[in-house]
Amino acid sequence: MNSTATLILGVCIGTLTFSALAETEPSIIPLPQRMELHDGSFKLRSDAKIQAGPDALKTAEFLAGTLRKSTGYPLAVVATDSASATKDANTNLGPEGYELSVTADSVVLRASTSTGLFYGAQSLLQLLPTEIFSSQVVANVNWQAPCVQIQDWPRFKWRGFMLDVSRHFYNKSEVEQILDAMALHKLNTFHWHLTDDNGWRIEIKKYPKLTSIGAWRSGVGFGLASNSTAAYGPDGRYGGFYTQKEIREVVAYAADRHITVIPEIEMPGHALAALTAYPEFGTGDGPFEIPMVGGVNPGIFSPAKPETFQFLQDVLTEVFQLFSSPIVHIGGDEVPPEPWTHDAACQALMKKEGLKTPDELESWFIRRIEKFVNAHGKTLIGWSEIARGGLAKNAIVMDWIGGGREAAADGHDVVMTPTSFCYLDYYQSRDHSTEPHAIGGYLPLQKVYEFEPVPAGLDPQLQHHILGGQGNLWTEYIANLKHVEYMAFPRLAALAEVTWSAKEARNFADFTRRLQLENKRLDQLGINYRLYRPETRIKVGSWMPSQIKSTPSAIEWDVTKNVTAEGTARVSLDYTSGACGINIDWVALSEDGKEIARDNHTGFTGASPRDSLYLLKIPAPKPGAHYALRAQVAGFGGTDSVGDVFWDLPPLSSKP
């Protein structure tokens, strides 16, 4: 839409009412580009009306609908002519920008697109008391917003969230709840990871077995409790899929929230669910079976069979019809080389095409698919690996393990999702004893907040190729929506700020201040989140393979400066790398060589740690004494593990 749309709320009061200052400072997330706070506030009254120009009516109805639910006010939407609506509009804020002016007697929202208006409405909602997000009428709330002038626009055009619905399944209504949470944070791209080894989740009419077989497995898998999910079919199998009707509904629901849905159909790897249903398209003879665990599996599509391409093209043809997005994700990550190197037909194909490595064969595969995708007016996006054997011409690279800078330098568009800043399946704390079991890693909120999507060293002239960033949620160990939300928030709010707000304006302390109201908003919306608290653990040491023996022996770390008070020290031994782990017999503390505390339980630290937190009751420290932490450990399955030792000694709560 070219005309400028305006939305004016509550111009019915002529008198200036400089009511009390708002109780709290504005806490908009993501932080607007420009915001001036003025004295006074706008009070939303029951007789307020929303005037909207022709192009603003839909957003006005959206805003009115939200406001009505919690205020109970009628809030009529009144159509105005476009001439008065566009008066004084600023059209320089880009396709997603908006201007919001809150004064004591009116709220005026202007944008050059309905997307900008929608984002302005989100900011306005965040200026009102958090009860505005209640789904029921809330009495006795002073519905006022502080007077502000905001001019706002996003830094990046791709502000994404990826959800893996293959490892675990979330139904249509659950996906829509996630879209609502994205919209609140002005995130605009939902990357829907619809297929993988553990389940195929999209109905394809031409290949019904993809969902009758490929969408179901014998149980929840991944070592999770069967009651951690309700996603069971009538026959008791675990799984589910979206019908084409549901897919269209989700795409429309997202569009109403100015979110583009990018479908991902994984190829040539991560294809076991598809191959369980249609083994004839695989490398090797099969049979294939949907696994109950994650990892990189050998069940991959065969590029040497013309019928494989026919199948994938048929699937993509249906996908193109379901999704309005001009961009389609075809995966391309983690293709194990062995199936192709051991397959005579693939070897013959490589010889015929002059391809020297499996990477080049993958590239050949991707380029062939890209031709088909482009011929249908769509653009292909794939994970880092699609660039390895020569990048398909117009492809967009989604960088998770590098290659983004090189691809951008080569003229490709890039979306940055590096594991070290964007993998929301990683632990949010180093203290695993207080977190749900996760895949591993460590990605605290502050680290996400410090993410810089533009790779270091990229020529400024080429930075426009960095479309933005995205949080990825792989769901091996996440079987239900509440757990999805816990992993996503507040880290996804931090990513929203990274991708929307000005780099220079980012300030973690201010972000965590704003989180207090953000959390109240999420409470109103019924969205689960992790309560942010700074990491209080201190790293007091580490161990190297040279210190680990196959029989039990003690390792010692100096903690003299860490014994600061009487209390209970929480000590954890956290494996970080190596093929093996260590069994732990006990952890103890000595004062000038004499043991004063010990936790005698057995634990293990490795890829799947168990009981690796030790509690030591510490008496009041003796000035000048030397304190040593000791642990008796033995390598398990080998002695190559590396890890860190953490110490947390919270002060005893003050006595009355």
555: which strand partners? 631
Residue (287 or 402) nearer to ligand ACM, CB: 402
Residue (476 or 648) nearer to ligand ACM, CB: 476
Helix (H, G, I), strand (E, B) or coil at 547: helix
- Cα(275)–Cα(223) distance, integer angstroms: 23
Residue (166 or 605) nearer to ligand ACM, CB: 166
Helix (H, G, I), strand (E, B) or coil at 203: coil
| Catalytic-role residue among 193, 258, 270, 412 | 270
- Cα(371)–Cα(347) distance, integer angstroms: 23
Residue (158 or 400) nearer to ligand ACM, CB: 400
Residue (401 or 642) nearer to ligand ACM, CB: 401
Residue nearest ligand ACM (C-beta atom): 333
Alpha carbon distance, N-terminus to C-terminus of the chain? 65
Rg over alpha carbons for the chain, rounded to the nearest Å, is 28
Torsion of the alpha carbons at 211, 217, 223 and 229, rounded to the nearest 10: 60
Using the rule CB under 6 A, is 439 a contact of ligand ACM?
no
Helix (H, G, I), strand (E, B) or coil at 464: helix
Q: Do residues 138 and 393 make contact, with C-beta atoms less than 8 angstroms apart?
A: no
3-state SS of 138-161 is CCCCCCEEEEEEEEECCCCCEEEE
The DSSP secondary structure of 61-130, one letter per residue, reads HHHHHHHHHHH-----EEE--HHHHTTT----S-TT-EEEEE-SS-EEEEESSHHHHHHHHHHHHHHS-G
Shortest Å, Cβ 400 to ligand ACM? 5
Is 196 annotated as catalytic? yes
By CB atoms closer than 10 A (0-12, 13-18, 19+), residue 169 is buried
Residue (333 or 435) nearer to ligand ACM, CB: 333
Using the rule CB under 6 A, is 426 a contact of ligand ACM?
no
Nearest to 470 by CA among 255, 156, 201, 252: 156
Residue (383 or 486) nearer to ligand ACM, CB: 383
Shortest Å, Cβ 148 to ligand ACM? 40
- Report residue 101: phi and psi, to 5°: -120, 115
- Cα(602)–Cα(611) distance, integer angstroms: 7
Shortest Å, Cβ 246 to ligand ACM? 25
Binding ligand ACM (rule: CB under 6 A), the pick from 143, 158, 323, 400 is: 400
Helix (H) or strand (E) holding 308: helix 306-322
408: Cα within 13 Å, side-chain hemisphere: 24
Does residue 490 have a cis bond before it (omega within 30 degrees)?
yes
| Catalytic-role residue among 105, 334, 359, 410 | 334
- Report residue 396: phi and psi, to 5°: -100, 140
Residue (118 or 383) nearer to ligand ACM, CB: 383
Residue (176 or 333) nearer to ligand ACM, CB: 333
Shortest Å, Cβ 163 to ligand ACM? 13
Residue at 488: amino acid letter: A
Is 338 annotated as catalytic? no
Residue identified by tokens 């605290």 is: 444
191-230 binders of ligand ACM (CB under 6 A): none
Residue (216 or 474) nearer to ligand ACM, CB: 474
- Structure tokens given for 529: 């989140």
Shortest Å, Cβ 94 to ligand ACM? 30
- Report residue 512: phi and psi, to 5°: -70, -30
Shortest Å, Cβ 282 to ligand ACM? 20
Q: Do residues 467 and 414 make contact, with C-beta atoms less than 8 angstroms apart?
A: yes
Shortest Å, Cβ 474 to ligand ACM? 6
Binding ligand ACM (rule: CB under 6 A), the pick from 249, 333, 535, 644 is: 333
558-617 binders of ligand ACM (CB under 6 A): none
Residue (26 or 418) nearer to ligand ACM, CB: 418
Using the rule CB under 6 A, is 383 a contact of ligand ACM?
yes
Residues in the chain: 656
Shortest Å, Cβ 425 to ligand ACM? 9
- Structure tokens given for 94: 């880009």
| Catalytic-role residue among 196, 413, 425, 648 | 196
Write the CB contacts of 136 (distance below 8 Å, at least 6 apart in sequence).
69, 70
Shortest Å, Cβ 207 to ligand ACM? 24
Angle at 388 between CA 383 and CA 392, to 5 degrees: 75
- Cα(294)–Cα(283) distance, integer angstroms: 20
Shortest Å, Cβ 573 to ligand ACM? 27
Shortest Å, Cβ 471 to ligand ACM? 12
Residue (287 or 441) nearer to ligand ACM, CB: 441
Angle at 535 between CA 532 and CA 540, to 5 degrees: 170
Report CA 117 to chain centroid distance, whole Å: 25
Give the number of other CB atoms < 10 A from CB of residue 293.
12
| CA dihedral sign of residues 512, 514, 519, 525 | negative
* Helices 481-488 and 491-500: angle between axes, nearest 10 degrees: 50
Write the CB contacts of 419 (distance below 8 Å, at least 6 apart in sequence).
400, 401, 426, 441
Is 574 annotated as catalytic? no
Shortest Å, Cβ 334 to ligand ACM? 5
Binding ligand ACM (rule: CB under 6 A), the pick from 176, 249, 314, 334 is: 334
Please report, as ranges, the residues that interact with ligand ACM according to CB under 6 A: 333-334, 383, 400
* Residues tagged active-site: 196, 270, 334
